[in-house]
A and B are shown apart, each in its own frame.
Chain A
Amino acid sequence: MSDTRAVVVALIYLLSATLFVFGLKRLARVRTARQGNAISAVAMLLAVVGTLIELGIVQDYRWILAGLVAGSLVGAVIAVRVPMTSMPEMVAILNGFGGAASALVAISIYWVDVVEPGKPGTLASILGGSQAVTAFLSVLIGGVTFSGSLVAYAKLNGSLPGKPILLPGRHALNVALLLLSVALGLVFAYGVGDPARGATVVWALLAASLVLGVLLVIPIGGADMPVVVSLLNSYSGLAACATGFVIGNNLLIISGSMVGAAGIILTRIMCDAMNRSLPSVVLGGFGGDSSSGAAAGSQEYASTRSAGPEETAMVLEAARKVVVVPGYGLAVAQAQHAVRELGDLLKKRGVEVLYAIHPVAGRMPGHMNVLLAEADIPYELLWEMEKINPEFRDTDAVIVLGANDVVNPAAMTKKDSPIFGMPILEVHHAKTVFVVKRSLAAGYAGIKNELFEQPNTMMVFGDAKKVLQELIGELKQLGG
């Protein structure tokens, strides 16, 4: 490569890295987020252009073009088609692809530099020690990210049960697998001098890391999946960073480690919001999901009262102030537009309608904001937990739509409850609480909800969307 071209490429990479920093920074503020995302996309384009210039005229563009076109098409189609309710699993699967790409790059480099030229000698003696070690790390981290993300995807979209799958002796098994992977990695980097045997070792390493990824994620309950996805997101950044060390590219190191660090911070913020510690999330075994009914036997409800749509509509119409608490049930029922219609009807009758957003409502932080925004509910009406909690004492009616653990007063009162200490929406202070829910089944944490037994709580059984439509019908009749 000529000197001028090397300088031009280095400057393009520098510009790209700078734009990544700006983009990420702006992405973290509501007003500038969209612009930040666009800046980061431009940075990515610059990175690709820079690399193509660095490569110069290559022998053949067919493989590169095939990969670029196929990947862009698939990415664009799934991005446009995926419904807003499936965002969490979408992020999980995309993240898995990123991890897989890093692992494949490292393996492919081994073929380009060692297997195909048929060079004798260890990887460390051919590429250099740090390159060899980071190549193995890239395969290990990338493989774990890929299979772990696939399991998270399956748990989030329900094709795997959300409840923890606990294998006997799983901790010992995981440690053994990790040690095996590291041993294989070191053999791959320093041990084998024969390309054919090295190839066997690297495939074995990939297989071990894929199994490890699956075993690390299956014992973790569905409720903790957002944290896991965020952590895996951090891993895929680190995998890209390791790839950067292999090919000696600072841009990869910068953006990969930035994503790694950002992912860790985000993971910590999410853990705080759920009052869970990262080690206890990672060790797994916590919580089930609503369909598992694992703990159902232990949680009989002594007395609950239920109400029909007509009764509910009458109370709502007479209220001065109504707070809507959306949860995952709302997302499942795709009821965000019905919520807005109900809100509009009540507003027309002079009722003040607010929406209380728990930081981890839904399956991912911010999930509810995205859904309600999709239904055109003004952003100003979505109140965060700290802001809305003092308002509940002054609220006539609360409608809890498919939320459960985030409104369970046991988190404040029962020291032995697994969710004790988790910040909740204090809806039990309101005059009347309507809980729209399909059944009395447990929520994600798999525990009984004390709210349902309170004298001011009314259960409205049914699918969130159907109940809302019935309420809308009743309100229209009342309005007559």
Chain B
Amino acid sequence: MGPLLIGLYVFVLSVFVGFEVINKVPPTLHTPLMSGANAISGITIVGALYTAQTADVTVSNVLGCAAIALAMINVVGGYLVTDRMLKMFGRKR
């Protein structure tokens, strides 16, 4: 089985996992959940790290560096903002 087929298997199964995990969510959590899921989409940082490995000032390095920065804003900002929202639910319990 080639890498493309394996990738497709993984893709389809993960879509089902995503559907199953989020099938019932209280409205309270819609905004934090959207924000938390959004932080996960910053996983593209992994791809960005592949593309900026040399020292020269090249198009690929500049684009790669920009991609790393943008993905990191998404990741760090996303997790911190989500945590700030969720912290408020936890306080008085």
Chain A residues packing against B (C-beta within 8 Å): 20-21, 23-25, 27-30, 33-34, 36-38, 40-41, 44, 47-48, 50-52, 55, 58-60, 62-64, 66-68, 70-72, 74-76, 78-80, 82, 84, 87-88, 90-91, 94-95, 97-102, 104-105, 107-109, 111-112, 115-116, 128, 130, 229-230, 233, 236-237, 239-241, 243-266, 269-270, 273, 357, 359-360, 364-367, 369-370, 373-374, 376, 378-379, 382, 384
| A99 vs B31: C-alpha distance when bound (angstroms) | 19
Whole-angstrom distance between the Cβ of B60 and the nearest chain A Cβ? 4
**A-B contacts at CB below 8 angstroms, number:** 391
Whether the pair A24, B22 counts as a contact (CB closer than 8 A) is yes
| A104 vs B11: C-alpha distance when bound (angstroms) | 22
| A370 vs B31: C-alpha distance when bound (angstroms) | 9
Whether the pair B51, A108 counts as a contact (CB closer than 8 A) is yes
Whether the pair A111, B59 counts as a contact (CB closer than 8 A) is yes
Whether the pair B41, A25 counts as a contact (CB closer than 8 A) is no
Chain B residues packing against A (C-beta within 8 Å): 3-4, 6-7, 10-11, 14-19, 21-55, 58-93
Chain B facing A: main interface SS: helix
Residues of A within 8 A of B61 (CB): 63
Whether the pair B69, A70 counts as a contact (CB closer than 8 A) is yes
Most chain B beta carbons < 10 A, residue from A28, A60, A251, A260 = A28
Whether the pair A91, B38 counts as a contact (CB closer than 8 A) is yes
Whether the pair B68, A91 counts as a contact (CB closer than 8 A) is no
Which residue of A is nearest B27, CB measured? A359
Residues of A within 8 A of B21 (CB): 21, 24-25, 28, 258, 262
Which of A111, A255, A369 makes the CB contact (< 8 A) with B89?
A369
Q: List 14 A-B contacts (CB under 8 A).
A: A24-B22, A34-B83, A37-B39, A48-B45, A94-B38, A99-B41, A102-B44, A248-B7, A256-B44, A259-B38, A261-B19, A266-B34, A270-B30, A365-B27
Contact A245 to B7, CB < 8 A, known contacts A21-B17, A59-B54, A87-B85? yes
Which residue of B is nearest A17, CB measured? B14
Whole-angstrom distance between the Cβ of B26 and the nearest chain A Cβ? 6
Residues of B within 8 A of A20 (CB): 40
| A78 vs B67: C-alpha distance when bound (angstroms) | 18
Closest A-B pairs by Cβ, 4 of them: A71-B72, A261-B18, A67-B68, A75-B76
Whole-angstrom distance between the Cβ of A273 and the nearest chain B Cβ? 7
Whether the pair B31, A75 counts as a contact (CB closer than 8 A) is no
| A229 vs B64: C-alpha distance when bound (angstroms) | 26
Most chain B beta carbons < 10 A, residue from A29, A90, A264, A369 = A369
Contact A67 to B67, CB < 8 A, known contacts A30-B28, A38-B83, A244-B7? yes
Whole-angstrom distance between the Cβ of B44 and the nearest chain A Cβ? 4
| A48 vs B79: C-alpha distance when bound (angstroms) | 15
| A248 vs B91: C-alpha distance when bound (angstroms) | 43
Residues of B within 8 A of A237 (CB): 37, 40-41
Whether the pair B87, A243 counts as a contact (CB closer than 8 A) is no
| A247 vs B67: C-alpha distance when bound (angstroms) | 15
